[in-house]
Amino acid sequence: MSDHTPLPWVVEPGPDGMVWVLSEDDEANEGNVIAETEGPDRVVNAAFIARACNLHERMRDMLRRVEGLGPGGDCPVCGCTSGHQDHHSDCELAALLRDIDAAEKV
């Protein structure tokens, strides 16, 4: 998989009432639109896409750092010491990190 279009992504009005998600860098993605939204929720949907993508890598990295911040490097959520790949199946932090890992392989 190649790298995604460089961040940050921004929201701008498109033609015919559409709302576009674009890279802030006009040269990125060869100037093409990343996403376009339509319908009554088009503005908030485009803003949500841009906000989620702009924050994704920072949130992922922070969650991975938080996982080992408990006493002795234990998970602060469930106390497990094995890391998120071999973590308790019911730990929400480990489940979220596994979901992120799986999504990044698409």
Strands (E), 1-106: 9-13, 19-23, 35-37
Residue pLDDT, tens place only, 44-58: 999 999 999 999 999
Residue boundaries of the structural domains of the chain: 1-56, 68-106
Q: Distance between CA 31 and CA 52 in Å, rounded? A: 21
Q: Please report which helix (H) or strand (E) contains residue 102, including its range.
A: helix 92-104
Q: What does the pLDDT look like over 6-52, one tens digit per residue?
A: 999 999 999 999 999 999 998 888 889 999 999 999 999 999 999 99
More confident residue, 47 or 74: 47
Residue 103 CA to residue 90 CA, distance in Å, equals 19
Q: Which residues fall within 8 angstroms of residue 18, CB to CB, at 6 or more apart? A: 36, 37, 38, 42
